[in-house]
C-alpha cells in the first residue's frame, strides 16, 4: 500500500483531510457546467445531432449509453479493518463468545424466573 501525499496543514498524518477542510474549498466555479450538462445543452441546441449520437453509442459503446440513460450501478464498498483489529475472530474465539452470550442469556432467564416465583 502506498502512503498518501501529505501537503499543507489541512491534512491528518494519514493523508486524509482534517475535519472542516476540503481538497477543493471553493468548489466548482459558478456557471461552469458538468460534462453531462454540456452534452445536454448541445443536444437541445442541435437536435439534428441526437440521431448521430445515439447511433454512435449503439454501435460503439452500449454500456456507456445505458449508464448515461439509467445511471451507473450502485457501487460496492470495500470495508477494510483498522490497524488495531487486523483479523476477524477465529472459530475458537467465536465459540467462546457464543458461550458467554448463552451464559448471560441463561442468567437473565433465571433472574426473571426467580422474580416471578417470589
The span from the CA of 3 to the CA of 21, in Å, is 20
Which residues, 6+ apart, have CB-to-CB distance to 22 below 8 Å?
A: none
pTM score of the predicted model: 0.35
86/55: higher pLDDT? 55
pLDDT in tens, 28-70: 788 888 888 888 899 999 999 999 988 888 889 888 888 877 8
Domain housing 100? 90-118
Q: Is residue 29 part of a domain?
A: no
Q: Is residue 111 part of a domain?
A: yes
Instruction: Out of 60-69, 75-84, 85-94, 101-110, give the one with best mean pLDDT.
Output: 60-69
Number of domains in the chain: 2
The span from the CA of 102 to the CA of 90, in Å, is 18
pLDDT band of residue 5 (cuts 50, 70, 90) is: low
Q: Is residue 102 part of a domain?
A: yes
71/86: higher pLDDT? 71
Q: Is residue 94 part of a domain?
A: yes
pLDDT in tens, 14-23: 888 888 777 7
Q: Is residue 24 part of a domain?
A: no
Q: Is residue 44 part of a domain?
A: yes
Amino acid at each position: 500500500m502506498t502512503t498518501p501525499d501529505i501537503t499543507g496543514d489541512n491534512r491528518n498524518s494519514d493523508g486524509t483531510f482534517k475535519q472542516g477542510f476540503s481538497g477543493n474549498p471553493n468548489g466548482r466555479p459558478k456557471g461552469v457546467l458538468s460534462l453531462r450538462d454540456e452534452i445536454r445543452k448541445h443536444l437541445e441546441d442541435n437536435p439534428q445531432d441526437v440521431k448521430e449520437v445515439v447511433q454512435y453509442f449503439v454501435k460503439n459503446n452500449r454500456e456507456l449509453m445505458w449508464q448515461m440513460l439509467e445511471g451507473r450501478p450502485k457501487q460496492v464498498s470495500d470495508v477494510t479493518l483498522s490497524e488495531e483489529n487486523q483479523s476477524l475472530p477465529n472459530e475458537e474465539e467465536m465459540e467462546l463468545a457464543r458461550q458467554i452470550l448463552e451464559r448471560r442469556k441463561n442468567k437473565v432467564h433465571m433472574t426473571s424466573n426467580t422474580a416471578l416465583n417470589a
